[in-house]
Structure 1
Amino acid sequence: MAQVETIRTWVERRMPELVAAHRVPALSLAIGLGDETIEFATGILNRDTGVEATTDAVFQIGSVTKVFTATLVMQLVDEGLLALDQAVRDILPGFRVADADASARITVRQLLSHSSGFEGDVFVDTGAGDDNLERYVDILAGTPQLFAPGEMFSYNNAGFSTLGRLVEVLRGAPYDRVLRERLLDPLGLRHAAVDAEEAILHRTAVGHLRTAAGDIAPTTVWSMERSGSPAGSRLAMSARDLLGFGRLHLAGGVAADGSRLLSTASVEDMRRPQVRLPDIDQGVAWGLGWELFARDGRVLPGHDGNTIGQSACLRLLPEEGVAVAVLANGGDPHPVFAELVDDVLREVAGIGQKETPAASGPAPHDAGRFVGRYESSTAITTISRTDDGRLWLDRTPRGVVADLGDLPYRTELVSWRDDVLLPVDPEGGVRQPIAFLGDDGTGRAAHLHTGRADRRMDS
């Protein structure tokens, strides 16, 4: 196929340039075009050891794991063991957050679509034993409710750990074992690891973080806590294996060997919009596990992932039977991912390049709605205004993300769209728009939203 060779030539020519320009230590990708596959790897997996990347190399896939967890949940739905609009408490009677009413109302569908409304970044290590998720769900009892269940979207890692526990209870086995027995092994994913003990058996990438001096150095911690596994703290695999999972969804739930792992109806349900996202230049909606991206009138299911110095991207173009899986271990990989996806979409479907957000003017003169202090479990963000009318964002990491090396971030904010402002300085190579939503009762925004709804704390 001429199309395959065109993309292969572009990859081999352009990817080394992009990797170098964005200081990415190593990158691996796999592109599925129908039955054809393009694979490519370049760079160093660990700058301390000098081990080179190959297409068999294993990288952490971070939050792309959430689509695996959602698939395990939908298998339960297929078998009649679970209903999407069932209350979580029906399966996990001890499930509760700080808000008693919300605790009783939160449904499986809301967990899958990040619309349950409770604080989602609860990074607590509950041990390495098989009871880790049971103990994790117990510690959620003090977690604050940010908004009523189903009211809006706010990315929620804790919700997916809760789903992992739900899978355990209904399957009668630890999450990691269910993942392997129900997905990894049936899909023939030979270069996949559920933890560091399995990863060490492979050619494995180490994450690299930016130091205070601006250098890129290997992390001293390979993965986060086991209780975050269903949300993306530990699962690692090759780009080829991640592509294999993507192809399961392209094939309507049928694995390469012809076995059915998920019903066609569940595959379609996972791609159906459940909740709209704020206008922050990410997806337009969230399905059941999948983020839904809009491009030239088309909807692309996908998911991104970030762990300790590692990043992943998976995108599907179902009508053309196309999937793109790309993995990296540090630097600023997201612009690299974006250019690769843009090229594939243009070549196979004539889809135009995604526009980069551009400022529409300086910060609004009446910026009182935005100014204030917003908090989550992972950051304190202050929006302030200087005497010359300029608006500034200062974000200080807190908790586990600070411990793992996230650095403070300061940038000026300028106008973009209505109550959505744009940072002047990129973070991780990306200028992420920031939405200010709701009303605290005084006309000021109740939430600062970058994918997560951080609460105003200076009312």
Structure 2
Amino acid sequence: MLVIIAESEAFPLARGDVDVSLTRRTVLKSAAAAVPVAALSTLPASATGLREPAAIGRLAEKIEAGMAKYAIPGAGLGVWHRGREYVRGFGVTNVDTGEPVSGDTVFRIGSTSKTFTATAIMRLVERGRISLDRPVRAYLPDFATQDPSVAARVTVRQLLNHSAGWQGDYFEDTGQGDGALAQYVAGMTKVPQLTPLGKVFSYNNAAIGVAGRIIEVVTGKPYETAARELVVDPLGLVHSRFFHSELDGFSVAASHNIVDGKPVVEPSFDAMPRALHSIGGLISSARDQLRYARYHLGHRDLPKLLSDRSRLAMQSHPGPGGTLFVELNGVGVSWMLRPTAQGPTVVQHGGDWSGQHSGFLFVPQRDFAITLLTNSESGPSLVAELFADDWALQEFAGVSNLRAVPQELPPSRLAAYEGTYVSQQIGLDGKPEELGLDLTADSGELVAGMGGQALFRFAFYRKDYVLAQNPDGTPTHVRANFVRGSDGQVEWLRYGGRLFRRQSATKKALRPAKLRHPATVW
């Protein structure tokens, strides 16, 4: 069966971490069912009598318009701007109950959880329990991968900067017991090695699962307990938990699917294999996420979990670069490091799970942070507008993406990129699944299709780098790039941070029989 899994961050045919499918996301972008938007919650700044900046009002209007356009029932927003905090809820937690979203409503944050795993690792680094540049086997002596030489050499840092080189989308459900993560890591021998260790960026959920297992072994505690003791509780994140059983008394955002253009509660989306908790399992609120962002901005009013040196090290010295919906200089210690035309670095993550999609970024040089949590399968469309496009960055931080002007290329140049590209994952049942995309030249661009259906267009803006557009030419706010092999020929398409191997120029990709799968981020 061919399946699509964004982030991060379904194969990410529009966002990364546990991510949703491109095909579904493309369809969802066309949904225009209006959804009632509840009254805004009171802002802390409003309570003090301070006037709300006009930019916050424009942001609220953009969110409300996006919720109506994309059929998103509810959203939680947190913004830190010019020394003030703005937290509010939009819409409803559940279309069946009509309960309003507040700044304390909890959503599953998906792959932003990876940065909590990395922060916990860094606390253990400072205690002398872990070294980023020691091999994984220093902590997991029996660690094995399909390529034995990689298992012997891969370091903790390479796990966290997504350069381990093995297939990243490994989602096997190993149960809900305390041994789930250990069993998951023991299954790494079924995960193929794609690229040489440390040489190529490819978004890697499985690698962060291994990092989570290191935390368990070093602390002697289940991952969730260790993460709470090392990060969540010391920071005072009172609405952040890993298990639904811990949410009694909380306002909880229900997950919604889109049916006939309208949001419908889908309880099955709430299930997550316990083995994926270090990868994308944290449930949190906009208020808690903003507090967490302010910690990583270095605000002195918050508990000091790490030295400034360690905190800043997470945001620097990136591994190999590429694209993950935006261009990346690379990944530091789990943080995506995004260049801007003006110079300041954007530190970014975000995450996706079925029916729960979010964005998270901050700009240290501008003391700005924003997080948005949504409760609909169509959430990635709004998240892309605010976290991949320039609008929010320009409005609040005065920075923008690197310049990208689409160019038309002659057929002779496009021929080097044409062909069928295939990516793989290991699903919840432990079985391999594939996704194939056909790329063909058309009017100076590449058309990406599946089963004869055009899904989007790639317009080149510099060598090997493309802007992804909808079939009608409207923007998706997503960038991707091609990766060349040692012979200089195009070997991979990197889309949503994942690698699609170029297989042939004639074989046509099959259309998946099913497009439903959990997503991971970006």
Do Structure 1 and Structure 2 share a fold, with TM-score over 0.5? yes
Q: Deviations over 1:19-47 (max 9, x none)?
A: 22333221111112365211121112222
What amino acid is aligned across from residue 337 of structure 2 in structure 1? L
Distance in structure 2 (CA, Å) of the matches to 1:391 and 1:323: 35
Structure 1 match to 2:462: 417
Q: Deviations over 1:128-155 (max 9, x none)?
A: 0001111111000121111111111000
Task: Indicate how the Cα distance of structure 1 residues 319 and 273 shifts in structure 2: closer, same or farther if over 3 A, else same.
Answer: same
The alignment partner of 2:93 has SS state of strand
Give the Å deviation of 1:264: 1.3
The alignment partner of 2:114 has SS state of helix
Matched, 1:46 2:94: yes
- The correspondence of residues 315-394 of structure 1 with structure 2, limited to 5 A, is 315-330=361-376, 332-334=378-380, 336-337=382-383, 340=386, 345-346=393-394, 348-351=396-399, 353-354=400-401, 359-361=406-408, 364-370=411-417, 371-377=419-425, 379-385=434-440, 391-394=446-449
Distance in structure 2 (CA, Å) of the matches to 1:223 and 1:255: 36
Task: Indicate how the Cα distance of structure 1 residues 140 and 331 shifts in structure 2: closer, same or farther if over 3 A, else same.
Answer: closer
Q: Deviations over 1:414-438 (max 9, x none)?
A: 4332223444317998253332212
Matched, 1:204 2:252: yes
1:84 to 121, 127, 132: 132
The alignment partner of 1:190 has SS state of coil
Aligned CA RMSD, in angstroms, stands at 2.9
The alignment partner of 2:252 has SS state of coil
1:334–1:429 Cα contact (<8 Å) kept: no
Task: Indicate how the Cα distance of structure 1 residues 262 and 201 shifts in structure 2: closer, same or farther if over 3 A, else same.
Answer: same
Task: Indicate how the Cα distance of structure 1 residues 318 and 432 shifts in structure 2: closer, same or farther if over 3 A, else same.
Answer: closer
Task: Indicate how the Cα distance of structure 1 residues 45 and 395 shifts in structure 2: closer, same or farther if over 3 A, else same.
Answer: farther
Unaligned runs of 5+ in 2: 1-44, 426-432, 506-522
Q: Percent identity?
A: 30
Task: Indicate how the Cα distance of structure 1 residues 62 and 132 shifts in structure 2: closer, same or farther if over 3 A, else same.
Answer: same
2:90–2:100 Cα contact (<8 Å) kept: yes
Structure 2 match to 1:300: 346
Distance in structure 1 (CA, Å) of the matches to 2:348 and 2:66: 22
Task: Indicate how the Cα distance of structure 1 residues 345 and 434 shifts in structure 2: closer, same or farther if over 3 A, else same.
Answer: closer
Distance in structure 1 (CA, Å) of the matches to 2:467 and 2:58: 32
Structure 1 match to 2:145: 97
1:440–1:446 Cα contact (<8 Å) kept: no
Distance in structure 1 (CA, Å) of the matches to 2:364 and 2:479: 28
1:363–1:391 Cα contact (<8 Å) kept: no
Distance in structure 2 (CA, Å) of the matches to 1:338 and 1:221: 21
Give the Å deviation of 1:384: 4.1
1:381–1:393 Cα contact (<8 Å) kept: no
Give the Å deviation of 1:265: 1.2
The alignment partner of 1:192 has SS state of coil
Matched, 1:434 2:480: yes
Structure 2 match to 1:117: 165
The alignment partner of 1:158 has SS state of helix
- The correspondence of residues 54-453 of structure 1 with structure 2, limited to 5 A, is 54-211=102-259, 213-219=260-266, 220-232=268-280, 234-251=281-298, 256=302, 259-278=303-322, 281-295=326-340, 296-330=342-376, 332-334=378-380, 336-337=382-383, 340=386, 345-346=393-394, 348-351=396-399, 353-354=400-401, 359-361=406-408, 364-370=411-417, 371-377=419-425, 379-385=434-440, 391-395=446-450, 410-425=455-470, 430-439=476-485, 444-450=489-495, 451-453=497-499
Distance in structure 2 (CA, Å) of the matches to 1:263 and 1:46: 41
Distance in structure 2 (CA, Å) of the matches to 1:356 and 1:61: 30
Task: Indicate how the Cα distance of structure 1 residues 380 and 8 shifts in structure 2: closer, same or farther if over 3 A, else same.
Answer: closer
Give the Å deviation of 1:366: 4.1
The alignment partner of 2:333 has SS state of coil
Give the Å deviation of 1:170: 0.5
Give the Å deviation of 1:200: 4.9
The alignment partner of 2:200 has SS state of coil
Distance in structure 2 (CA, Å) of the matches to 1:14 and 1:456: 39
Unaligned runs of 5+ in 1: 397-407
Task: Indicate how the Cα distance of structure 1 residues 349 and 394 shifts in structure 2: closer, same or farther if over 3 A, else same.
Answer: closer
What amino acid is aligned across from residue 329 of structure 2 in structure 1? V
Distance in structure 2 (CA, Å) of the matches to 1:452 and 1:164: 21
Task: Indicate how the Cα distance of structure 1 residues 453 and 255 shifts in structure 2: closer, same or farther if over 3 A, else same.
Answer: farther
TM-score, normalization by structure 2: 0.77
Distance in structure 2 (CA, Å) of the matches to 1:299 and 1:415: 24
Task: Indicate how the Cα distance of structure 1 residues 379 and 360 shifts in structure 2: closer, same or farther if over 3 A, else same.
Answer: farther
Distance in structure 2 (CA, Å) of the matches to 1:426 and 1:58: 35
2:384–2:476 Cα contact (<8 Å) kept: no
Task: Indicate how the Cα distance of structure 1 residues 388 and 321 shifts in structure 2: closer, same or farther if over 3 A, else same.
Answer: closer
Structure 2 match to 1:25: 73
Number of aligned residues: 441
Structure 1 match to 2:31: none
Task: Indicate how the Cα distance of structure 1 residues 426 and 84 shifts in structure 2: closer, same or farther if over 3 A, else same.
Answer: farther
The alignment partner of 1:24 has SS state of coil
